[in-house]
């Protein structure tokens, strides 16, 4: 894993060869991280997770990334419902 470029109370962001890795430090790395290409996407994901807001994006990968990082059951269910509509 690359150099850490951001950290807050619940998340760390690392630079990787092909973009960035976001890790929810309240979850184990195996089940609590995702890969994205842009730093701005990292910040959007983190902001949505902190505020428990529904994303504007209907991208399957984006929604799955939220699920991997999420540790709130109510918010997880909200994202799963959005994901079912995309499928």
Query: pLDDT grade, residue 1 (50/70/90)?
Result: confident
Query: pLDDT grade, residue 2 (50/70/90)?
Result: confident
- Please, are residues 33 and 68 in contact by the beta-carbon 8 Å criterion? yes
Query: pLDDT grade, residue 57 (50/70/90)?
Result: confident
CA–CA distance, 19 with 2 (Å, rounded to integer): 10
- Report, as an integer, the average pLDDT of 35-62: 96
DSSP state of 12: E
3-state secondary structure of 6: strand
pLDDT digits (tens, 9 = 90+) for 23-45: 999 999 999 999 999 999 999 99
């Amino acid at each position: 894993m690359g150099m850490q470029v951001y950290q807050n109370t619940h998340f760390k962001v690392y630079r990787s060869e092909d973009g960035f890795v976001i890790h929810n430090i309240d979850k184990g790395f195996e089940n609590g991280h995702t890969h994205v290409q842009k730093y701005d996407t990292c910040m959007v994901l983190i902001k949505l997770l902190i505020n428990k807001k529904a994303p504007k994006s209907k991208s399957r990968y984006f929604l799955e990334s939220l699920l991997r990082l999420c540790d709130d059951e109510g918010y997880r269910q909200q994202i799963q419902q959005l994901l079912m509509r995309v499928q």
